[in-house]
């Protein structure tokens, strides 16, 4: 071979290697770019996602080329996995990573994206950890992987940048003092670095999706629309839900459920816990014949009382289950609680599991399920067999690590597909979720119970297309009970989960006393307070349902951090104990039974929902509220539709609505969403937007759409000054 030939071949080879190692950027939708580098994983979370809501996505303004940093991403394939390095600007902030528990603003943190039922320190484990963050610079980065993904958010400095470290050290203290405690010793008194390092464990390549803004709110809207649009639960799911003790038999369920109807306390869903099954850990998905000898008759009773029945289960299939033999060939090679772990990646598995649920429960009128334990629980308890190990193998080719991240998502999908087949919407409760779950009618819940974390989880859920349910169980005091009830009212899913309480929590909030029938002397007073709150939730149904419809069609999260609405107000950047509910209500829960707290009001005038007292925005106030007052504040210029509470929602329900006018509403309009509330007809254009406008002291109602029936009757307009 001549020298020329050899060097030509060499050049081609170098070019080929460089080309094949270069990242490839493709625009996949307006304002969304896919960046691919290196060898790709065979199965990715995006393979299971719903179709984007394209029409709505196309309506969003988007830049042509995306954020400038796309060109400056560096990659390294290391033994432990691929590492991508993305630049961070000095004043850039980071939010997101799914249902984070401990922290709102994430810069300076390490985030390990690993599904787990319990936080482990503050490293990022949660029921729904998403490898997806949103930057205050108005873009979002998502890693389309079900491997463990680690993010270093400016939390580590490379030695190569030692000059800047030197400068920083000089700027701050210069020399270090010895420190008299571990925290003083390890105190980080320098700035975070200007790099995000993303490591996909064990992978040789990476796929990232980058979502354009320009605002952070636009980023999450784009992500939600790309995922298939935000969830639109059935109308009944806006109401109140109760879950009864797991040991109750059919007679006890029937008699307990009459309580709400006799006392005229609204309740739409009644949930059964593990005891309904013949085996629950793992699950048989078959009625316990001794305690539930005639399930059809119980279903009849519950339906006649207008309850939606919800059944608890998890995905681990007990050897006595009717589906065990057929599902074993499509399951992982490790058991959980001696049960098979279905590989929901495979259509055959989804068919076996789905058909069985459809025929035996959905067609019989079971309206919803609580999908427990799909979060690979108790990772930190090394002796617990609460999940399959990372070394498990599944027939689809996934390993345990990948299945751990995907199980919650795939389990929801399997059940939701069955409801779709019978054209019924449901509202699941679920303990794990993952990327692209925005369209799922489901709310996440937990066994954790810290009230402040519950509120922070509402705030964080808005960055991730997730619904979060800060459920109420036992409490430490009457105040704690009422304040927690208020928080669950001000969330996407109002549920009291009494799976270990024999009596109502407002009859006795202490767990042991409750189960010993030691009822509180003032229980009826507490009952009246609980009833008021549940009725208030029912009054909010038109407002909340419209907020969910907007979530569906525009992607705007119904519950979201203040920083999404007021990005330029520095004061709200770190606020993790106040949030927006719908378009114009700010919630500021009182934690741990407190009656006084500090509340920050963003720009504008805000009305106390209880007293109509006005607060001028841009300031902090110390506010005291009695237990009869709920910490909600309404933005001036809001037309707030409030329904006369009903005890439950049916297909025929018509809600009487009063429009409250807060301050000057001249020229203002709000919209209500009206459809049949329980099927998917809205996807076939069977819905109305009702425009409620106020002009020159007169209200007008304008229905736009194809839906023929009416579920809202506007009865009055009520100015509030
Ligand atoms: C838990 C779940 C609780 C309850 C319980 C029943 O793991 O989080 O809400 O359902 O199981 O055993």
497 CB within 6 A, ligand 1: yes
Residues 6+ apart with CB under 8 A from 381: none
pLDDT level of residue 509 (50, 70, 90 thresholds): very high
pTM above 0.85, yes or no: yes
pLDDT, average across residues 46-74:
95
* Cα–ligand 1 centroid distance for 512 (angstroms): 18
What pLDDT digit, counting tens, does each position of 67-115 carry?
999 999 999 999 999 999 999 999 999 999 999 999 999 999 999 999 9
Cα–Cα distance between 707 and 295 in angstroms, integer? 36
pLDDT level of residue 4 (50, 70, 90 thresholds): low
- State both tokens at 321: 């289950």
Q: Which residue has the higher pLDDT, 184 or 609?
A: 609
pLDDT level of residue 160 (50, 70, 90 thresholds): low
274 CB within 6 A, ligand 1: yes
Q: Is the pLDDT of residue 14 over 50?
A: no
Q: Is the pLDDT of residue 20 over 70?
A: no
Q: Is the pLDDT of residue 5 over 70?
A: no
- Ligand 1 pocket: which of 279, 312, 315, 369 to mutate (most atoms within 8 A of CB): 312
The residue contributing the CA closest to ligand 1 atom 8 is 447
Closest-lying ligand 1 atom to the alpha carbon of residue 446: 8
pLDDT level of residue 18 (50, 70, 90 thresholds): very low
Mean pLDDT of the chain: 94
- State both tokens at 607: 């009305």
Q: Report pLDDT for 17.
A: 47
* Cα–ligand 1 centroid distance for 372 (angstroms): 7
Q: Is the pLDDT of residue 515 over 60?
A: yes
pLDDT, average across residues 212-224:
98
* Cα–ligand 1 centroid distance for 109 (angstroms): 31
273 CB within 6 A, ligand 1: yes
Coil, strand or helix at 22: coil
Nearest to residue 414, comparing CAs of 484, 330, 290?
A: 330
Closest-lying ligand 1 atom to the alpha carbon of residue 281: 12
247 CB within 6 A, ligand 1: no
* Cα–ligand 1 centroid distance for 128 (angstroms): 17
pLDDT level of residue 16 (50, 70, 90 thresholds): very low
647 CB within 6 A, ligand 1: no
Closest-lying ligand 1 atom to the alpha carbon of residue 370: 10
Q: Report pLDDT for 190.
A: 74
List Cα–Cα distances, 176 to 66, 161, 184, 482, in angstroms: 43, 20, 10, 49
pLDDT level of residue 6 (50, 70, 90 thresholds): low
Least confident window among 19-28, 455-464, 627-636:
19-28
Please say whether the beta carbons of 677 and 670 come within 8 A: no
Closest-lying ligand 1 atom to the alpha carbon of residue 373: 7
* Cα–ligand 1 centroid distance for 312 (angstroms): 8
447 CB within 6 A, ligand 1: yes
Please say whether the beta carbons of 387 and 376 come within 8 A: yes
Q: Which residue has the tokens 């289960």?
A: 313
- Ligand 1 pocket: which of 472, 499, 500, 511 to mutate (most atoms within 8 A of CB): 499
Cα–Cα distance between 670 and 543 in angstroms, integer? 9
Q: Is the pLDDT of residue 357 over 60?
A: yes
548 CB within 6 A, ligand 1: no
- Ligand 1 pocket: which of 117, 336, 372, 448 to mutate (most atoms within 8 A of CB): 372
535 CB within 6 A, ligand 1: no
Coil, strand or helix at 513: helix
The residue contributing the CA closest to ligand 1 atom 10 is 273
């Amino acid at each position: 071979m001549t020298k020329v030939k050899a060097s030509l071949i060499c050049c081609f080879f170098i070019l080929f290697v460089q080309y094949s190692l270069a990242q490839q950027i493709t625009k996949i939708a307006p304002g969304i770019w896919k960046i691919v580098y290196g060898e790709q994983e065979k199965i990715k979370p995006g393979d299971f996602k719903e179709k984007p809501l394209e029409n709505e996505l196309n309506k969003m303004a988007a830049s042509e080329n995306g954020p400038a940093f796309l060109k400056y991403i560096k990659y390294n394939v290391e033994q432990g996995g691929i590492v991508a390095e993305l630049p961070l600007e000095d004043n850039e902030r980071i939010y997101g990573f799914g249902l984070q528990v401990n922290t709102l603003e994430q810069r300076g943190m390490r985030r390990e994206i690993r599904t787990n039922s319990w936080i482990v320190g503050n490293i990022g484990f949660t029921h729904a950890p998403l490898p997806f963050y949103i930057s205050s610079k108005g873009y979002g980065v998502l890693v389309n992987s079900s491997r463990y993904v680690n993010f270093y958010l400016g939390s580590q400095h490379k030695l190569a940048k030692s000059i800047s470290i030197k400068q920083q050290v000089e700027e701050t203290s210069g020399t270090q003092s010895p420190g008299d405690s571990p925290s003083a010793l390890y105190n980080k008194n320098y700035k975070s670095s200007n790099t995000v390092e993303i490591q996909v464990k064990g992978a040789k390549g990476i796929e990232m999706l980058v979502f354009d803004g320009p605002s952070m709110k636009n980023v999450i809207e784009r992500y939600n629309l790309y995922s298939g649009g935000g969830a639109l639960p059935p109308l009944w799911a806006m109401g109140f839900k109760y879950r009864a003790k797991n040991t109750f038999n059919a007679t006890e369920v029937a008699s307990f459920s009459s309580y709400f109807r006799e006392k005229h306390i609204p309740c739409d869903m009644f949930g059964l816990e593990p005891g309904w099954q013949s085996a629950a850990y793992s699950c048989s998905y078959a009625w316990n014949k001794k305690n539930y000898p005639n399930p059809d008759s119980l279903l009849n009773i519950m339906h006649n009382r207008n309850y939606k029945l919800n059944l608890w289960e998890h995905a681990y299939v007990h050897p006595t289950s009717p589906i065990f033999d057929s599902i074993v060939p499509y399951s992982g090679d490790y058991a959980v609680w001696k049960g098979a772990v279905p590989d929901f990646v495979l259509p055959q598995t989804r068919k076996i599991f789905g058909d069985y649920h459809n025929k035996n429960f959905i067609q019989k009128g079971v309206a919803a399920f609580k999908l427990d334990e799909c979060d690979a629980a108790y990772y930190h308890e090394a002796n617990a067999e609460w999940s399959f190990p990372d070394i498990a193998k599944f027939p689809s080719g996934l390993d345990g690590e990948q299945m751990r991240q995907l199980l919650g998502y795939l389990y929801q999908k399997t059940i939701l597909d069955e409801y779709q087949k019978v054209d019924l919407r449901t509202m699941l409760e679920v303990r794990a979720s993952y990327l692209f779950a925005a369209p799922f009618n489901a709310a996440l819940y937990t066994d954790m119970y810290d009230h402040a974390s519950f509120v922070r989880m509402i705030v964080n859920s808005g960055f991730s297309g997730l619904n979060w349910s800060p459920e109420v169980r036992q409490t430490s005091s009457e105040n704690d009970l009422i304040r927690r009830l208020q928080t669950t009212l001000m969330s996407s899913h109002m549920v009291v989960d009494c799976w270990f309480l024999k009596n109502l929590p407002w009859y006795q909030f202490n767990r042991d006393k409750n189960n010993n029938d030691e009822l509180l002397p003032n229980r009826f007073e507490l009952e009246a307070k609980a009833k008021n709150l549940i009725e208030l939730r029912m009054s909010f149904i038109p407002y909340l349902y419209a907020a969910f419809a907007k979530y569906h069609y525009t992607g705007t999260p119904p519950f979201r951090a203040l920083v999404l609405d007021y990005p330029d107000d520095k004061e709200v950047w770190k606020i993790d104990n106040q949030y927006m509910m719908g378009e114009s209500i700010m919630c500021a829960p009182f934690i741990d039974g407190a009656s006084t707290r500090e509340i920050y009001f963003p720009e504008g005038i805000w009305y106390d929902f209880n007293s109509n007292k006005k607060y001028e925005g841009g300031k902090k106030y110390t506010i005291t509220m009695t237990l009869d007052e709920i910490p909600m504040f309404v933005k001036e210029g809001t037309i707030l539709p409030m329904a006369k509470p009903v005890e439950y929602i049916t297909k025929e329900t018509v809600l009487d609505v009063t429009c409250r006018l807060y301050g000057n509403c001249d020229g203002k309009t709000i919209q209500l969403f009206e459809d049949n509330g329980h099927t998917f007809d809205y996807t076939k254009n069977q819905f109305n937007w009702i425009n409620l406008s106020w002009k020159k002291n007169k209200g007008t109602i304008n229905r736009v759409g194809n839906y023929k029936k009416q579920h809202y009757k506007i009865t009055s307009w009520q100015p509030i000054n």
